[in-house]
Amino acid sequence: MKKHNVLLLFFVLLYAFCLYVYLGLYSLSYWSLLSNQLYLIPPLLAVLGGLYAVTRYGKGNPHGRALLYFSLGISALFVGELLWLYYEHILGADPFPSLADVFYIVSYPLMIIGIFKEIRISNRKEQLPSWKVAIPVALLIAVSSFYFIYQAYDYEASLIENTFSMGYGLGDIILVVAGVYIFRIMRDYSGGRMASAWLMIGIGLILTLIADVLFSFFYQQYEESLYAYAQIDLVWSLAYLFFSYGLFKIGFIIDDIRQKVIKSCG
């Protein structure tokens, strides 16, 4: 069985377990602590996937540097998740606004820097002229700005709360743009194994965006842990698993090619 299939099987089983725990098929007192710890596993796996891919490329490699920025973004998300749980479940304090939000928000620019660096390496000159991408991106930004930033503003909230809320809105716009560009990377690698790895990362971004939008629309219900709304965490968990799988897959592709040449050398 190939490494990426073993990993896929592990992720499917892990996610099935997450579903079991998060959908409440458990006795609450014992499992609630577990579900919080369980939630940290997918982002941790995404960080490990990033480290694995970066080390396969080696220091100084342009793809490695691009993935390093992307992985730092995911690491910031992981630290944000850790701090969020610390504030909410150990200190018993409201985690918004807090240091956790700083890490969440910092993750967006880091991820987009990584994606732009990857695009600069991967794009061929004869590809689409930039305006054909720029127009849909500008439209997406215009629509997203209204939903993500303007609607995030709350006249009754404090300045810090509004700054963070709008920061998330801006971050989600960054995710929309990043999603568009990831599909450009995929098209550039069309027919190659790297395309499928980047597809996984792209799906991870889309799922993150969906979870962020659901969270901003249903924040109140989420905070009250109402059934179905609290399960937005499942979407984020799935996003992290897609990131992780895509990043590990990049590392596995490099390993496979190395093994081939080592075998050929006898």
Partner 1 sequence: MVDVTVPKKDLLIKYGVQLISLHLGDMTGDLYREFYKDKNNGIIITSLREILSEVVGPAKAEYEMKKILNKIK
Residues that bind partner 1 (CB under 8 A): 56-58, 60-64, 121-122, 124, 126, 188-195, 253-254, 257-258, 261-262, 264-265
Task: Tell me how far, at minimum, the Cβ of 264 lies from partner 1, in Å.
Answer: 6
Q: Cβ closer to partner 1: 129 or 266?
A: 266
Q: Cβ closer to partner 1: 173 or 254?
A: 254
Type of residue at 202: G
Task: Tell me how far, at minimum, the Cβ of 189 lies from partner 1, in Å.
Answer: 5
What sign does the dihedral 174-175-181-185 (CA atoms) show? positive
Q: Cβ closer to partner 1: 81 or 118?
A: 118
Cβ atoms of 251 and 244 within 8 Å: the answer is no
Within 13 Å of residue 125, how many CA atoms lie on the same side as its CB? Answer: 0
Structure tokens at 212: 């962020």
Structure tokens at 161: 């709360």
Question: How far is Cα 246 from Cα 75, in angstroms, rounded to an integer?
Answer: 15
Task: Tell me how far, at minimum, the Cβ of 261 lies from partner 1, in Å.
Answer: 5
Task: Tell me how far, at minimum, the Cβ of 59 lies from partner 1, in Å.
Answer: 9
Task: Tell me how far, at minimum, the Cβ of 119 lies from partner 1, in Å.
Answer: 13
Q: Cβ closer to partner 1: 194 or 209?
A: 194
- Closest Cα to residue 79, out of 60, 51, 101? 101
Cβ atoms of 208 and 232 within 8 Å: the answer is no
Helices (H) and strands (E) counted in the chain, each on its own, are 9, 0
Task: Tell me how far, at minimum, the Cβ of 188 lies from partner 1, in Å.
Answer: 6
Mutual orientation of helices 62-85 and 99-122 as an angle, nearest 10°?
Answer: 160
Tokens 């939000």 sit on residue: 101
Q: Cβ closer to partner 1: 197 or 203?
A: 197
Task: Tell me how far, at minimum, the Cβ of 118 lies from partner 1, in Å.
Answer: 12
Q: Cβ closer to partner 1: 58 or 136?
A: 58
Cα angle value 29/33/35 (rounded, 5°): 105
Q: Cβ closer to partner 1: 92 or 266?
A: 266
